[in-house]
Amino acid sequence: MSKVWFITGTSTGFGRQFVEQLLQSGDKVVATARRLDAIEDFKRLAPDRVHLAQLDVTNKEQIRSIVQEAVDTFGKIDIVVNNAGYGLFGMLEEYTDEQIRKQFDVNVFGILDVIQETLPVFKRQGSGHYVNLSSFFGTWSMPPYSVYAATKFAVEGFSEAFAQEFAGFGIKTTIVEPSVYATDFFGHSMDQTEKKPEYAPLYDAYDKGMSNIKIGDPVKAVQFIISVINSDNPPLRLPVGSQAAYTIREAYTKRLEEVNAWVERTAEAD
């Protein structure tokens, strides 16, 4: 039986791959994007199994309307993929207040608003699955991604909590943690600061590190994610790509080492 997927941010990257692969497999998709002209081609793939909607995830009234459209069109929503988001690149001192607030509005409050508007649908059905796109930056951070990482840490935090809150209603939650993939993340999806010269050594170190990084294939990444989401026992957290798994494990190991180094002294504060 085909499933109904509600996906945000489908014009490029992972979002576009989700729609293309799901339509090929016979599922139904509510594909959303800020510009309808960017996703009109989906109609040619499966006109009866895709519903297109213009959606800015910072507009809660628009979210409410599109969720109702989805239910009216397909009768249900089985899986919500909170994919819409973008990166903010720069050192903390370089960010403007507007850049920081916009980053949280899209990457954090946008996801929360989609969840709040779709949760009544899932509860009525007694089933559903939230797939929240985080990043391996949701478990560690580095310059020049301090604020971007902060938004992904937030996604990890509220997703872990509400996974327990919603489980009793038959609702599953999976936090997806990809490493670096060949999407538009480093293109028009990236907002950048005006660089201050005193941070040149940090930017140089970043550029050197990026020159050695392996860029993943988004087609394979989304194939993997879909296969796990469709499995009998999908995990709460899903690292995507060997680099993500290695980096996340290394970050947790270092954190445990630091905790262990202070575990005896910290008892002084009891």
pLDDT digits (tens, 9 = 90+) for 37-46: 999 999 999 9
Task: Give yes or no for residue 16 having a pLDDT over 80.
Answer: yes
For 175-193, what is the mean pLDDT?
81
For 112-117, what is the mean pLDDT?
98
For 11-33, what is the mean pLDDT?
97
Which pLDDT does position 80 carry in this prediction? 98
For 248-260, what is the mean pLDDT?
97
Which pLDDT does position 185 carry in this prediction? 65
Per residue in 156-171, pLDDT (tens digit) is 999 999 999 999 999 9
Q: Which residue has the higher pLDDT, 172 or 193?
A: 172
Which pLDDT does position 187 carry in this prediction? 61
145 Cβ partners below 8 Å, 6+ apart?
A: 87, 88, 89, 137
Cβ–Cβ under 8 Å, residues 111 and 153: no
Q: Which residue has the higher pLDDT, 214 or 239?
A: 239
Alpha-helical segments (H) within the chain: 13-25, 42-45, 60-74, 97-104, 110-125, 146-167, 200-211, 218-229, 242-266
Task: Give yes or no for residue 47 having a pLDDT over 90.
Answer: yes
Which pLDDT does position 215 carry in this prediction? 86
Which residue in the list 95, 130, 148, 199 is annotated as catalytic? 148
Which pLDDT does position 214 carry in this prediction? 81
Which pLDDT does position 191 carry in this prediction? 86
Task: Give yes or no for residue 211 having a pLDDT over 90.
Answer: no
What token pair was written down for 138?
A: 């949701």
Which pLDDT does position 182 carry in this prediction? 76
Radius of gyration, alpha carbons of the chain: 19
Domains along the chain with CATH numbers: 4-242 (3.40.50.720)
Which pLDDT does position 25 carry in this prediction? 96
Task: Give yes or no for residue 70 having a pLDDT over 80.
Answer: yes
For 181-202, what is the mean pLDDT?
83
Cβ–Cβ under 8 Å, residues 122 and 133: no
Angle at 193 between CA 190 and CA 194, to 5 degrees: 140
Q: At what angle do helices 110-125 and 60-74 cross, to 10 degrees?
A: 30
At 186, is the pLDDT very low, low, confident or very high (cuts 50, 70, 90)? low
User: Residue 145: helix, strand or coil by DSSP?
Assistant: strand
Residue 148 annotated in active site = yes
Residue 134 annotated in active site = yes
Half-sphere exposure of 168 (CA within 13 A, CB side): 4
Task: Give yes or no for residue 267 having a pLDDT over 70.
Answer: yes
Distance CA(151)–CA(109), nearest Å, equals: 9
Task: Give yes or no for residue 183 having a pLDDT over 90.
Answer: no
Which residue in the list 3, 28, 152, 172 is annotated as catalytic? 152
Which residue in the list 11, 28, 95, 134 is annotated as catalytic? 134
Residue 152 annotated in active site = yes
Which pLDDT does position 77 carry in this prediction? 98
For 122-129, what is the mean pLDDT?
98
Which pTM was predicted? 0.95
